[in-house]
Structure 1
Amino acid sequence: MDFLNVLFNLVFGPFTFLILMVLFLGWQAWKMLPSKRQKNASRGGGFSTFWRGLLVVLLLSAFMALPALGGPGFALLALIILLISLIPGDERRFFKYQQNLPTSKIRSLAMGIVELQGRARAVKTLTAPLSGRRCIGYRHTIHEEERDDDGDTRSRLIHKEERCLPFVLEDDTGDVQVDAKGLGLYVLPVFKEQQSGDRVAREYVLEHGAEYLLVGKAVRRGSGVGIVRDNIRRVFGIAPVGHLKRRVKLNAQLAVWYGYTAAIAIVAALILVLPLEVVHGKLLIHYADWPPYRYLFNAADAGQGSVELPASIATLVTTPGYMLVLGIFGAIPALVLFATTMRIPLLARLSKMCAGTVAVSFPASFVGMIVMQLAGFDSIYLFLCWAILHIGYAVFVVLNYCQLAAVMNDYNRDEPPVRKKPPVRRRKR
């Protein structure tokens, strides 16, 4: 057992973590070296891509080094990730205002930020590069699929082009001119997809005559009114009405998920800075050495509490590797079991809830267990964070089961068929 402990601490110790971090930095930097293919395919040149990528790698490496500082470093890492996830992008701001703003009629339009719904009418049209269709605007992307030595496929964006011309939005009360400068095109369906070798090109178009929802700023323009980007709120976007309804349901659940994730991260961070140890099957909590306790109660004396652990949990948290295996691979047999019991009518609903909990918590559990082990945390910390993670997401799944099921049903339906030009029938002579 001593040999296994030494081997386990060597493989999953802080020294190994530093080696992996250096290897990761070198691997990412090597990938960012400008190749001839990247120079031809990427916009802005390969060297600019290299320096941007190198900056990202350095920041990621700094974040990866935080867990090496112990509990406070890991808590700081969780806080940074949480704050970054809460910073809204243009698309999230669009959906935020879309949910909060009432839909206005064009005839009774007030100045300021507004939400409009109507048909897009082209003033001028441009040609989409992939399909050749005349449209108001388009987004054209090219992804390159790369296969590594293990056979896994990864998609990488190598080209993105987005153009849109000014157009008119009209409803049953009137019409208004829309300035397309800075307009974001969101949740557009794929109009055409084409694969050539290891590259996949996709095209999304803003069509004349289709129904859209627009969020922007109404301003006076001479004797009329126009819709432009709100530079203060940084919001200006358009989305098709049909796809928008489905996305709104998903965003509502994502907002709830963010709240649960934030609460779980805060509780896990407090656990990681709590002095704990397991002695003879008992969990000892040195609460007097906990910084919040000393600050609140000005405790100078040593004190501790103890909790008797069940034999199975005591074995789990005192045997090297057991907790790591449970956190990383425990989801596989659980999903197989729940997939089997879903076919039993009396257990179907409960099995779906359990499977949803495992699926939602698996990414955080997988990454968290590895990082915490490499950072040198004892198994008792891994177990408590693992338990808090699954309990928190189980509450999320149970309380939001109906809404999550509705979202899954919407996304499991077939996508609207891609519009293609009908084949030209030639008359036989």
Structure 2
Amino acid sequence: MDQSHLHLQLNNRLPLGICVLDAAYQVLYWNDFFSDRTGLPFAEVQGKNLLELFPQQARYLKKKIDSVLVLNNASFSYWEHQPHVFPFSSSRPITGEETLMYQNIEFLPGECDDSAVRTVCLVVQDVTELASYFQAEQQLSARLEQESAELKVLNEKLSMAQSQLLQSEKMAAIGQLAAGVAHEINNPIGFISSNLQTLQDYATRLLKLTVFYEKIVSKTANETFLALQRDIQQRLQFDFVRTDLPELLSESIDGIDRVAEIVKNLKAFSHVDNAQWQPANLVDGLENTLKIAANQLKYHVEIHRDYAADLPEVYCQPNQINQVLLNLLVNAAQAMDHKGHLYLRAWQQDQSVCIEVRDSGPGIAPEHMSRLFEPFFTTKPVGSGTGLGLSLSYSIVKKHHGDILVQSKPGEGASFVVCLPIAGPAAANMTGEDRAML
């Protein structure tokens, strides 16, 4: 058996995916790992463009491959950040169910000629087992933490219902954590964001300056200068840097803005900022909040209003109540995928004013109803929500001695009702005779 045949057999028996590409992304080789999971033997894909074989992943793959071709350095893709680059299936060792394969991928430079990379080798490792055990450990830790919190609630034996006590304990613990986190990282976030904005401005100016210099050199029509310019730009891979730099800065600014928004929510969640108590018209607050949420609601959401006339003002912290209404409006818009019907109602009920926000979305799954107001619980995709909106709303309403109620059936939308005592928290526990004296 010759050595090349031995290498081929070894490559095919390795529990790794191996794919070799040329600089035009054409497949020069892939082993049985790829063939078994795509149903495409190597003979059928030889010479074909990998980006066309995997169009949904093409943009990410191209960016990684280009990085290797341009910089002549290895690049990596880890499952924690990009779990399923290739749509391969795998079995979870814990449950045995078929699921998308969690992958670590190495992008390695292959043949080189005069510092130019001619081929790129992709090495795909199936880490579904590692990811499965890691996620199972996280679930176990969360379950143990939840059980510990529930035991603490039972031991306290307070007068309120068990679910409300559990919520209060979680709110207190998370509130203390949030206050510390917000205080510690708010300043670094501020100067990092400022520096990134300045750096983006500097980069824009420098790129404009290079364009100006290119025009000057071009106008001289001096072949020596033009050749020197082309040579230095080619050696520094300037065209790639010029296109990649603004994107890197933009992504970094977007990331720090998201962190700042999370810190802002944590700060509000822990009630770091004080707000003034005063009488306020809840309908006016709802209408003003609608304007803030306009970008979430415009074009495809039809709003229906049903406000009772001559509603009394409510003694409250208007900014915080508006934050509650904003959370409910944004959640409703996102639940409807920004298209559908939004029903807003306001009325007086005994000594309280109530606001209802109801949507025509898919509704809330029954298993999620009991967890809606838990801190950090969210049904949104990872990176799309912090899970603080409803827990913050719950905390604010309870601070006002009000109630927030939710009703939903799958397929029939969801209704959130906020009821606040007209005279404020001080009057919430008064008897009927006391209220008559107000």
What TM-score does the superposition give when structure 2 sets the normalisation length?
A: 0.23
Normalising by structure 1, report the TM-score.
0.23
Which has the greater radius of gyration? 2
| Structure with higher RCO (Cα < 8 A, 6+ apart) | 1
